[in-house]
Amino acid sequence: MTDHIIIGVHVKNRTQQAIELQKVFTEYGCSIKTRLGLHDTDENSCSIAGIILLEIFAKDDLIPNEMLKKFNAIDNVEAQIMRFTH
C-alpha cells in the first residue's frame, strides 16, 4: 500500500491566481486523485481566499516536490505537503 500524500494549497486571491494554478493542475492532472476547494461564503459574500486540498498519486517524492515548488513560485500562494505512512 502506498502512502497518502496530500498537498494543501493556500490561495490568497483565487481570481488573480486561478490561471497559474490551473496550469499546474493540468500539468500534473494524472497524478491528482482528488481535488477539493474550500473558501468562506455566506448569503452576503464570497471570500477571495481559499484552500485547495489535493490527494496525490506518486511512487516517490519527485512529483509532489515538483508540484510544491511550482505552487510556491506563484505570488500569494503557499503550499505544504502532508504524508501519511501505513
Question: Is 0.85 surpassed by the pTM of this model?
Answer: yes
**What confidence tens digit (pLDDT) does each residue in 40-71 have?**
888 888 888 999 999 999 988 999 999 999 99
* Cell representation of residue 60: 516517490
Grid coordinates 490527494 are at which residue? 55
Check whether 1 has a pLDDT greater than 70: no
All domains in the chain, ordered by first residue: 4-84 (3.30.70.1150)
**Closest by CA position to 71, among listed 46, 35, 47:** 35
**What confidence tens digit (pLDDT) does each residue in 10-35 have?**
999 988 999 999 999 999 999 999 99
